[in-house]
Structure 1
Amino acid sequence: MRSTRTSAAPRRGRRTALAATGLVAALALTATACDGSADSASDKPEATTSQAADGGGKVQIPAELAGKLKEHGIDADRWKDGGWKDWDKDKWLSDAQDFVNPVIEGLWKPDRMQSAKEADKTVTTKDASAGQGVSDPAPAPVRAQAERTPYHRNAAPVGKVFFDSPDGPAVCSGTVVKDVDHPGKSNLVWTAGHCVHAGGSGGWYRNITFVPAYNDYGESEAELTNANPTEIAPYGNWWADWASTSNQWIQGGSETGGEGAAYDYAVLHVKPERGSKSLEETVGAALDVDFSAPSAAEARKMGAWGYPAAPPYNGLKMFKCVDIPGRFSLSPALPTMHRIGCTMTGGSSGGGWFRVRNGKSVLVSNTSIGPADNSWLAGPQLGRDAETLYQNMSKTYGGR
């Protein structure tokens, strides 16, 4: 039964500048319980809240986006009034340069977020055995552990990616990453390609939004009934005004990952639904990306973070798995992927994988595919192709 409690006033006060210390501690001390002082209200960052436009509100779409929609035969006024729900395959924007994601303020309300379904890529037994002779033995399952709350203190860069697909609202995970061309003011989010684009059979998803530190205090569904927006989205909603994924994913991605799985990564450039500060300034944390594609021996341990939404999870809480990585390949012709034991399910897709390098956590992969029994996860190695995608995003859109 859902609770009907009245939510507490939003926790506000002094913002803390974080260096993702929780992630470093979790990776470096995974076998050791970490002590920590109790959270106080003064440690809660100021929230950037969003409010729904009222029934008579007029949602404005910038002229350049309206023009881009018009190029594809889509009326901007109809789009904002619900036309985005029309998934006519002849008008499904597919190519890399076709991305359009105008802000529809108030669309992603707490209830709509909770209704979003997991976006997962499950490989079949046949798929999983395709790389025999290339892949290392399947790892033993690692039970996912709940991240400590509040998330803004222990895993500030991690959040949820919401989007609309032909099947309705969907959800993935994502990570705030640094922008090399705009230090300290990044608006970049790393996630999976299949969280922004349907792959070879479709096109770009719509209404893509990032919510860092979603459900900051890990409250239950009952506790979130009538919750204040700051409890759901302590830093507000951040809309993707541009997204980039690999051509390999756009052309070869499929329901089971397909030939695009080894290139299943994406970078979002986001802007706040309300407010003017950058994402990094608002959250107080962002991670470097490691494009060295380290071997298992070099990496030693990797940790995957995300919000699993398929049973036995419900997408409301953040979890993590830490394991020694192995190699996984769907085909000898494709790059080898990283694989770790992990029981996280769909919804964790796109969530960052981290390793400790020179004493700090860096993003080294993202969750892409896993088996039907949810015993392991695999993610792409981030090498030269991924770095080029990232650099182009930083140079071309980072300053917006």
Structure 2
Amino acid sequence: MRSTRTSAAPRRGRRDRLVAAAGLAAALALTATACGGSGEDRAADKPGATASRSGDGADAGLAIPSDLADRLKDHGIDVDEWKKGGWQDWDKDKWLSAAKDFVNPVIEGLWKPERMQSAEAADKTISTKDASADAGVSDPEPAPVEAAAERTPYHDNAAPVGKIFFDSPEGHMVCSGTVIKDVNNPGRSNLVWTAGHCVHAGAGGGWYRNIVFVPAYNDLGKSEAELGGAAPAEIAPYGNWWADWASTSNGWIEGGSETGGSGAAHDYAVLHVRPEQGAKSLEETVGAALDVDFSAPAAAEAGKMGAWGYPAAAPYNGLKMFKCVDQPGRLSLSPSLPTMYRIGCTMTGGSSGGGWFRVVDGETKLVSNTSIGPVDNTWLAGPQLGRDARTLYENMSKTYGDR
């Protein structure tokens, strides 16, 4: 989620931006109470696609549909060995890249606290040339906004926000995500919004594995030393939620790369999740979910935006939730690509996929997600969510939402 620094440009006044940020912080509300009512004291600090199905697990219930099992066998994968550790085989010829071949069966107990803490940030970098390719459209580079720690407990202040853990060929990785509402399953959503690069490697790569969402991770914001003796409920207050379906944009699958590539402007994804244990929906369990704003407002007309996430690269360690609030500007990587939003923010890798929020008619809505940023960690950029993103979301909701 990082890039090399772009060429210098005039920066907006820091004092004006801090005043504006305070105004949005007073309006943003991510909890069930704040989204649905007043609660002024809490609101003051809060904040064209393809889809795939995984099976459920049998000793944790592994049960992969026969048609998917046949396709996996075509790739040389023994589905009976997958859950026993076969998922660790990252042979390029067997690394599934077709959306229809996504597989992510529940492996109960895999994501233990120590495994979570060993996960590293899923960084994305872009070149200086790419970042300034359309300087005539891009707004001046924003001044940095220092990320502020979210108040604890997170389940009272930012319940829909959480961490995403997954395995890649490079090891255990982390991103951030947000519980969103499901239009076809009101009050019972199992949908999570994140970045495309948190679920799929992009062009020439494939789907990541063992993807899990943990809402309100490290609920009390404990230090690494304190987490050594923490109860499971303090680390994962709502449990672990495995992605059994995943959707990301064709733009990311075809153009995404280690440097963001042309896929950066389409770097978004939706997960359908199921609990490792339990029967209630994610929204019922967490008690909160946010609507997604697909109007893709122009940056100058969007008002202030806030980004939430779990930055994991230095100087952060991925254990605590942070937030930034700023007036967005435009970042254009190419005249042929949609313009991205850009805000000042010092969050680092690990915050990738974390939601960006704005207030629309008094309601907090997700409007983007963290995708890329500079190597000196002074700003973040996220995709505009327009017609293609809406189609991805609606297909996910209609086809998989009630499963």
TM-score range normalised by the length of the shorter chain: 0.7 to 0.9
Aligned partner (choices 165, 173, 177) of residue 176 of structure 2: 173
Q: 2:62 is matched with which residue?
A: 61
The yes-or-no answer on 1:288 pairing with 2:308 is no
Please tell me whether the aligned partners of residues 303 and 327 of structure 2 are also in contact (alpha carbons under 8 angstroms): yes
Q: Which amino acid aligns with 1:362?
A: K
Q: Which residue of 2 aligns with 1:271?
A: 274
Kindly tell me the number of residue pairs found equivalent between the two proteins: 361
CA distance in structure 2 between the partners assigned to 1:68 and 1:237 by the alignment: 28
Structure 1 residue 202: Cα displacement: 0.5
5+ long unaligned stretches in structure 1: 1-15, 35-52
Structure 1 residue 280, shift from structure 2 partner = 0.1
The answer as to whether partners of 2:311 and 2:348 remain within 8 angstroms in 1 is: yes
Distance 2:270 2:41 in 1: 25
Instruction: Tell me by how many angstroms 1:388 deviates.
Output: 0.1
| Alignment partner, residue 402 of structure 2 | 399
Q: Quick check: 2:34–2:43 contact (8 Å CA) kept in 1?
A: no
Compared CA separation, residues 354 and 375, structure 1 to 2 (3 A): same
Q: Look up the equivalent residue of 2:219 and give its one-letter code.
A: D
After TM superposition, list the pairs within 5 Å mapping 1:266-345 onto structure 2. Answer: 266-345=269-348
- Do structure 1's residue 369 and structure 2's residue 372 form an aligned pair? yes
Q: Which residue of 2 aligns with 1:223?
A: 226
Q: Tell me, yes or no, if structure 1 residue 249 matches structure 2 residue 278.
A: no
Q: Aligned runs of 1:113-262 on 2, under 5 Å?
A: 113-262=116-265
Whether contact under 8 Å (2:42, 2:157) holds in the other structure is no
Q: What stretches of structure 1 move > 4 A for 4+ residues in a row?
A: 19-30, 65-68
Once residues 313 and 341 of structure 1 are traced to their aligned partners in structure 2, the CA distance between those partners, rounded to angstroms, is: 17
The structural deviation recorded for 1:63 is 3.6
Partner amino acid, structure 1, of 2:135: Q
Give the superposition deviation at 1:119: 0.4
Alpha-carbon spacing, 1:358–1:26, altered in 2? closer, same or farther (3 Å): farther
What is the alpha-carbon distance in structure 2 between the residues aligned to residue 335 and residue 75 of structure 1? 41
Give me the whole-angstrom Cα distance separating, in 1, the residues matched to 2:37 and 2:112: 29
Report if the CA contact (8 A) 1:22-1:155 is conserved.
Answer: no
What is the CA distance between 1:76 and its match in structure 2?
1.8
- 8 Å contact kept, 1:160–1:174: yes
CA contact (8 A) 1:23 1:154 kept: no
Query: Aligned partners of 1:226 and 1:290: how far apart in 2?
Result: 40
How far is 1:99 from its partner?
Answer: 1.1
Letter in 2 for 1:136: D
Deviation of 1:123 (Å): 2.0
Supply the distance in 2 between the matched residues of 1:185 and 1:72 (Cα, whole angstroms).
35
The answer as to whether partners of 2:243 and 2:271 remain within 8 angstroms in 1 is: yes
**Corresponding residue number in structure 2 for 1:79:** 82
Unaligned runs of 5+ in 2: 1-30, 47-56
Q: How far apart, in 2, do the equivalents of 1:232 and 1:171 lie?
A: 15
RMSD value, Cα: 2.1
The alignment's TM-score, normalised by the length of structure 1, stands at: 0.86
Counterparts of 1:87-98 in structure 2, within 5 Å, are: 87-98=90-101
Native 8 Å contact 1:343 1:374 kept in 2: yes
CA distance in 1, matches of 2:94, 2:377: 35
Residue 69 of structure 1 contacts residue 75 of structure 1 at CA under 8 Å; is this kept in 2?
yes
1:119-158: CA deviation from partner (whole Å, max 9, x where unpaired): 0212222222112111000000000000000100100100
Instruction: Give the TM-score normalised by structure 2.
Output: 0.86
Identify the range of structure 1 (227-236 vs 19-28) with the bigger mean alpha-carbon deviation: 19-28
Superimposed CA distance per residue, residues 214-239 of structure 1 (whole angstroms, 9 cap, x where no aligned partner): 00000000000032111110000000
Matched letter for residue 138 of structure 1? E
One-letter identity of the residue aligned with 2:262: E
User: Aligned AA for 1:111?
Assistant: E
C-alpha separation in 2, matches of 1:68 and 1:99? 10
- Write the distance in 1 (CA, Å) between the matches of 2:38 and 2:267: 23
> Could you tell me how far 1:28 is from its partner in structure 2?
7.7
Q: How many angstroms apart in 2 are the aligned matches of 1:122 and 1:147?
A: 26
Query: Partners in 2 of 1:25 and 1:92 — Cα distance?
Result: 49
- 2:19 aligned partner: none
Deviations 1:281-301 (A, max 9, x none): 000000000000011232110
Per-residue CA shift, 1:297-353, capped at 9, x if unaligned? 321100000000000000000000000000001111100000000000000000000
Which letter does structure 1 place at the counterpart of 2:113?
P
Q: Distance in 2 between matches of 1:325 and 1:17?
A: 26
Call closer, same or farther: CA 1:371–1:69 in 2, change over 3 Å: same
**1:360 deviation in Å?**
1.4
**1:340 and 1:163 mapped to 2: Cα distance?**
27
Amino acid at match of 2:171: G
Given that 1:141 and 1:376 are in contact with CA atoms closer than 8 Å, whether structure 2 keeps it comes out as yes
CA shift digits 1:209-262 (9 cap, x unpaired): 000000000000000003211111000000000000000100100111101110
Query: What is the match of residue 25 of structure 2?
Result: none
